[in-house]
Structure 1
Amino acid sequence: MDWFNLPNLPTPVKVLFSGYLLVIGVGLCMAGLQIMLTHGMADGKIGLSKDDIVYSYYGDRSGSRLEGMLNGAMKDKAPPEVRLDIIKWAREGAPEAEWEPHFKQVFAQHCVMCHSNVPGIPNFTHFDEVKKVAKVNEGASIESLTRVSHIHLFGIAFIFFFMSLIFSFAVNVPRKLKILAIAFPFAFLILDVLSWWLTKLNPGFAWLTIIGGLGYSIASTFMWFTSMYQMWILSRNGKVYGNAWEADL
């Protein structure tokens, strides 16, 4: 199968591979945007930083999740005096005695439009749900880390597997570089997920999350562009290339 490499593939196979790469490329961009809009706003500032990682996984243990959100992503959802009133109540332990006569109406006016209809976020029509986020922010729970970790590992591994499989048919790529490019996304994926657990224990490990994310992003971007270039641009020169694995030794 000397012909089986990216430049020499039949057009239907190129379309199949390219369709997959295009969908995955857009999906990864959307994933990056989602990270910027969630974790990237954890410290109340636009852009992903070490503090965002710390707040997301270790937490801001100087205050509650509720306070952190009111000073961050939810800052524009209520007037300053209302936010300060809620923060003061949360710092006092969110006593239930003040819920019915006052704070139930405050939350109904400013929060429940989303926090009663959007799945996956606390329902602020119930005091018990508010009480949970009014506690000191200790970051992600063990339960949520376990759930997100196994979903992330299984899902992203499938993406990298098929992307790496397509890239393995590339030509004129030094063998060592090809091996590293294929191995790096999996290695950095493991580092990324492991860093969440380490950051939960110690905020000093937050840098590993950024390194892991950058590592597999760079490697997958290299494989994506190399594969698309060889299928649709390099193949136009009319040259017939040899075995994709032996020619690059």
Structure 2
Amino acid sequence: MNATRNWSLPELSIPLKALFTGYIMVVGLGLLMAGGQILLTHGMADGKFGVSVDDIVYSYYGNRTGSKLESKLNGSMKDKATPEERMTLIKWARDGAKESEWEPIVQPIVMQKCAMCHAHIKSLPNVSQFDTMKDIAKVDEGADITSLTRVSHIHLFGISFIFFFVGYIFSMAVGFNRWVKAVIIFIPFAFLVVDIASWWLTKMNPQFAWFVIIGGFGYSIAATIMLFTSLYQMWVMPWVAAHKTPSA
């Protein structure tokens, strides 16, 4: 019992504090980068900066009034071409993506404005090929099952490892009721499941888009509480205790 009690954040050795602090700093920076990536991808799905319910719907359910090409050109790819060029590509998609118009009209725009990235980065669709563009020009049904499966398993494995170590460090915090501490540690895992599950539910029904936002917001808040509490108790709390003026 005494050995367990000694494992508290304020009383850790300096090397352990350095280890945990380094991890917290890198994880915190990673979470900020993840937020930035969401703003620049999903956050631009409706053509406006900032994550909204429409962004979530367009990303997972799709904008089924138009093609994925149209959604991208009016969203995250809006600044990559002139209004006239975007309208030419959108009209081509709406008219059925005819192969007869590919080489004389569409391909020159694609090669000049899109192929510099899409033809050389393997993770992106090679839009310099007609078959790829024809597929993108179909009605936008959001994320496909293959992509959802790949991203889901990466997030479930990767983020759960992050929350495990963040929770382990926070488990040494002092001043918390053990049940309150247990709930805070468990919350990120619960909201991660809600977040991933809501991707699939939104793919089937756009009404579930709110749960994506709730899930991401929930585990972000819990992780932030654990990260800042851990840093405070490792470094600030011991300093305050050491410099506290004894009462008369």
TM class, shorter-length: over 0.9
Please list every run of 5 or more consecutive structure 2 residues that lacks an aligned counterpart in the other structure.
Answer: 244-248
Residue aligning to 1:119? 122
Higher mean C-alpha deviation, range 201-210 or range 170-179: 170-179
Q: Find the residue that maps to 2:6 and give its secondary structure.
A: coil
Whichever residue aligns with residue 67 of structure 2, its letter is S
Partners of 2:66 and 2:205 lie apart in 1 by: 17
Counterpart in the other structure of 1:106: 109
State the shift of 1:238 in Å.
4.1
String of CA shifts for 1:93-133, please: whole Å, max 9, x gaps. Answer: 10112112322122112221222122311112111111111
**Structure 1 stretch displaced more, 195-204 or 99-108:** 99-108
Give me the whole-angstrom Cα distance separating, in 2, the residues matched to 1:79 and 1:146: 35
Please tell me whether the aligned partners of residues 46 and 58 of structure 2 are also in contact (alpha carbons under 8 angstroms): yes
What does the per-residue CA deviation read over 1:157-185, in whole Å, with 9 as the maximum and x for residues that have no partner?
00000000000000001222201100100
**More relative contact order, 1 or 2 (CA 8 Å, 6+ apart):** 1
> Cα offset for 1:72?
1.6
Q: Does 2:171 match 1:168?
A: yes
Query: Separation in 2 of the partners of 1:206 and 1:74?
Result: 22
Instruction: Tell me, in whole angstroms, the C-alpha distance in 1 between the residues paired with 2:66 and 2:176.
Output: 52
Larger helix percent: 2
Matches within 5 A, 1:14-93: 14-93=17-96
2-side partners of 1:64 and 1:184: how far apart?
Answer: 38
2:62 touches 2:142 (CA, 8 Å); kept in 1? Answer: yes
In structure 1, distance between residues paired with 2:113 and 2:161: 41
2-side partners of 1:15 and 1:107: how far apart?
50
2:228 to 225, 230, 236: 225
Distance of 1:207 and 1:89 partners within structure 2:
33
Runs of 4+ in 1 over 4 A off after TM superposition: none
The reply on whether 1:216 has 2:192 as its aligned counterpart is: no
Q: Distance in 2 between matches of 1:14 and 1:180?
A: 24
> In structure 2, what is the Cα distance between the partners aligned to 1:11 and 1:152?
32
Sequence identity, in percent?
Answer: 60
Is 1:187 paired with 2:179? no
> Counterpart of 1:114 in 2: which secondary structure?
helix
Paired residues of 2:173 and 2:233 also in contact (CA < 8 A): yes
Q: Which range moved further: 225-234 or 173-182?
A: 173-182
| CA RMSD, Structure 1 to Structure 2 (Å) | 1.2
TM-score (norm 2): 0.94
Measured in 1, the distance between the counterparts of 2:23 and 2:82 equals 47
| Higher mean C-alpha deviation, range 216-225 or range 116-125 | 116-125
Q: What is the TM-score normalised by the length of structure 1?
A: 0.93
Residue matched to 1:247: none
Distance in 2 between residues matched to 1:21 and 1:92, nearest whole Å: 52
Deviations 1:59-111 (CA, angstroms, capped at 9, x unpaired):
00000111111112222222222211111110111011211232212211222
Amino acid at match of 1:71: N
SS at match of 2:166: helix
Q: Does residue 208 of structure 2 align to residue 205 of structure 1?
A: yes
- 2:136 paired with 1:133: yes
Q: Which runs of 5+ in 1 are unaligned?
A: 240-249
CA contact (8 A) 2:97 2:134 kept: yes
Q: How many residues align?
A: 239
Query: Greater CA deviation, 39-48 or 118-127?
Result: 118-127
